[in-house]
């Protein structure tokens, strides 16, 4: 998309084409037919742009409740924060009483619109890409909000005055590929050293290496790991007035509810051989390393299988949003033939394989087990118990799926 195609998409002819496409089946099989119809009235590049945006709006419905009226490019949509997680972060700015906030690297406005939705908060969106700023303005308007917009390079002195708090979302992709080190972010994470906000939040990739954050965490910043519906989505560095000691874990549930586990310096649970149940903590808890805090939250005896493995075990059928639970039927040191015999003996004909800390690929084990498919299902968990490679034979997971 360029400025001209965006002007077309925003105008009456573009709106009309997009409204018609919204009612169509946009799957690849229909591309030619759809383009043929559109090209009767529109030049080819405008027809193509309308179809691309209509498809992006469909994809964007997973992130935005008003996706059907918003504007995206493929890469900018990929990078955009979804509504649920952006609202969760934005809420901290209002709670801290900031009335003026900057959204640095605002892209197509996923975070700007969450900040602009806060009562009494005014937001300035900054990005170096003028087209993204225009898309962001249209997207914020799609929600009935307004914001200020500035084209600026964040590595230059910021053209901001009297704004005490900021949210910074550096790009974590280069030519479509994810980058993992904060030294490869665009702009570099180090850009924040030049800024003097009273409070700053920075979105990071969930796999961020904690030692790369040491200069900031050592100076009072806290790290929050966030999962949505059981999937680890991001890490946030909370600095200045937002800072806290250590790492916390937040889970945002599909129903919009949320819970946070705060660091309390509790020791990790003791070690044990597998007991009646296997637990897998929410990935945000695992990344935050809050196993002791999780045990305290749950209030039941839980144990670790191994110093280095995130599976827990215990005697209680736990039903908590913080973990998933499987009943353990048997366990044994890993040995292919013995595992196969144990499964056959139990009438198991097909397995789902999970693993942590095992070099064996689940598909490889499934093929090697040569089960006949006719017996009952089971879950085989490959992991380490006190340093030894083991297999646990488990039943189906208990309780709700998140
Ligand atoms: C991850 S995206 C932001 C996504 C945004 N939070 C959203 O929800 O739509 C990062 C943005 O940073 C911008 N950016 C990268 N380097 C920049 C720089 N040096 N100065 C200003 N903006 C920059 C990119 O244009 C991109 O829009």
Give mean pLDDT in consecutive 10-residue pieces for the chain, a chain of 402 residues.
95 96 94 93 95 97 96 96 94 96 98 97 97 98 97 97 97 82 92 97 96 96 96 96 96 87 96 98 97 94 96 95 97 97 96 96 95 94 97 90 49
Rounded to two decimals, what is the model's pTM?
0.92
Residue 236 in tokens: 């946030």
Atom of ligand 1 nearest to the CA of 129: 25
Atom of ligand 1 nearest to the CA of 191: 19
Mutate to test the pocket of ligand 1, among 108, 169, 178 (most ligand atoms within 8 A of CB): 169
Cα→Cα distances 127→107, 195, 200, 389, Å: 6, 16, 17, 50
User: What is the rounded CA–CA span in Å between residue 238 and residue 218?
Assistant: 12
Say if CB 216 and CB 271 are below 8 A apart: no
Residue 343 in tokens: 């499964």
Say if CB 196 and CB 161 are below 8 A apart: no
Residue 173 in tokens: 């992709």
Rounded to the nearest whole angstrom, what is the distance from the C-alpha of residue 27 to the centroid of ligand 1? 30
Cα→Cα distances 59→64, 82, 173, 230, Å: 9, 12, 19, 20
Cα→Cα distances 384→136, 185, 401, Å: 48, 35, 25
Please give the order of strands across the beta sheet that includes 277-281. 303-304, 312-314, 277-281, 323-333, 388-394, 376-385, 348-355
**Per-residue model confidence (pLDDT) at position 359:** 94
**Per-residue model confidence (pLDDT) at position 400:** 57
Q: How much is the CA Rg of the chain, to the nearest whole Å?
A: 25
Task: Map out the domains of the chain as residue ranges.
Answer: 3-60, 78-261, 277-394
User: What is the rounded CA–CA span in Å between residue 328 and residue 276?
Assistant: 5
Atom of ligand 1 nearest to the CA of 132: 27
**Per-residue model confidence (pLDDT) at position 254:** 74
Cβ–ligand 1 distance for 129 under 6 Å, the answer yes
CA nearest to 393, candidates 345, 350, 318, 342: 342
**Per-residue model confidence (pLDDT) at position 371:** 95
Cβ–ligand 1 distance for 234 under 6 Å, the answer no
CATH number of 78-261: 3.40.50.150
Pairing of strands 323-333, 312-314: unpaired
**Per-residue model confidence (pLDDT) at position 402:** 47
Mutate to test the pocket of ligand 1, among 86, 89, 107 (most ligand atoms within 8 A of CB): 107
Rounded to the nearest whole angstrom, what is the distance from the C-alpha of residue 176 to the centroid of ligand 1? 14
């Amino acid at each position: 998309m360029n400025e001209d195609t965006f002007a077309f998409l925003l105008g009456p002819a573009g709106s009309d084409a997009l409204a018609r496409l919204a009612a169509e089946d946009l799957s690849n099989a229909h591309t030619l037919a759809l383009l043929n119809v559109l090209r009767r009235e529109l030049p080819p590049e405008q027809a193509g742009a309308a179809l691309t945006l209509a498809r992006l709006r469909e994809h964007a419905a997973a992130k935005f409740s008003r996706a059907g009226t918003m504007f995206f490019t493929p890469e900018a949509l990929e990078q955009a924060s979804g509504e649920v997680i952006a609202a969760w972060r934005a809420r901290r700015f209002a709670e801290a009483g900031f009335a003026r906030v900057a959204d640095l690297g605002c892209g197509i406005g996923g975070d700007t619109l969450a900040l602009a939705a806060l009562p009494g908060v005014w937001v300035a969106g900054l990005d170096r890409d003028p087209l993204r700023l225009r898309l962001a303005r249209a997207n914020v308007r799609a929600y009935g909000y307004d914001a200020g917009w500035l084209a600026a390079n964040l590595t230059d002195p910021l053209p901001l005055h009297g704004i005490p708090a900021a949210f910074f979302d550096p790009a974590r992709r280069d030519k479509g590929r994810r980058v993992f080190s904060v030294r490869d972010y665009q702009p570099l994470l180090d850009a924040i050293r030049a800024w003097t906000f009273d409070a700053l939040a920075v979105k990071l990739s969930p796999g961020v290496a904690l030692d790369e954050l040491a200069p900031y965490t050592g100076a009072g910043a806290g790290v929050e790991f966030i999962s949505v519906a059981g999937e680890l989505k991001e890490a946030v560095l909370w600095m200045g007035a937002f800072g806290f000691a250590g790492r916390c874990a937040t889970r945002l549930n599909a129903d919009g509810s949320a819970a946070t586990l705060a660091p309390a310096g509790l020791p990790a649970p003791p070690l044990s051989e597998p007991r009646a149940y296997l637990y897998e903590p929410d990935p945000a808890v695992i990344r935050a390393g809050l196993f002791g805090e999780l045990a305290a939250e749950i209030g039941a005896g839980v144990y670790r299988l191994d110093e280095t493995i995130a599976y827990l075990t215990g005697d209680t059928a736990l039903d908590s949003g913080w973990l998933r639970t499987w009943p353990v039927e048997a366990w044994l040191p890993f040995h292919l033939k013995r595992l196969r015999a144990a499964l056959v003996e139990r009438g198991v004909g097909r397995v789902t394989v999970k693993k942590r800390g095992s070099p064996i690929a689940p598909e490889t084990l499934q093929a090697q087990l040569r089960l006949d498919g006719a017996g009952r299902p089971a879950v085989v968990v490959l992991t380490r118990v006190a340093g030894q490679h083991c297999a646990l034979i488990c039943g189906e997971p208990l309780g709700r799926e998140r």
